[in-house]
Amino acid sequence: MNPSLEQSSIDTTSMMTSSEPLVEVPKILAEERMQNERMHDVLLLLEHLVEREEATVKLILDCLYDVGSVNLINKKFQSRSLNWMMKSIARMSKPAFRVVALRWFKKNCPESNY
């Protein structure tokens, strides 16, 4: 067999394997770019939801507080009189919870960098 012919087949094989990762790189970059764009869109939607639907966020937080406080009090306080007293305290502290929870929600809600 001719050595030059043998050498050319080796070069072709090495070129094919070296070009395969190059084909994958643009595909991976395109997928990453698409993922970044979609995450940016999600962050924008969340930000606009909080700005436009603050009343909805408040209602959701109120419902979570009602359910969570009753469950926690029932679990921790078995005495009927103490249970009743703690539930009334929880009802009175609900407005303070709303303010703190909404502030916490806005602070911890993801923000977009546009």
Distance CA 114, CA 48 (A): 13
> Are 47 and 59 within one domain?
no
Instruction: Note the pLDDT of residue 15.
Output: 47
Residue 97, pLDDT > 80, answer: yes
Domain extent for 94: 53-114
| Contacts for 73 with CB less than 8 Å, ≥ 6 apart | 83, 86, 87, 90
pLDDT given for residue 3 in this prediction: 52
pTM for this prediction: 0.55
13-72 pLDDT per residue, tens: 444 555 555 557 777 788 888 888 888 888 888 778 777 888 888 888 899 999 999 999
What pLDDT score does 108 carry? 84
47 lies in the same domain as 57: no
Are residue 46 and residue 65 in the same domain, yes or no?
no
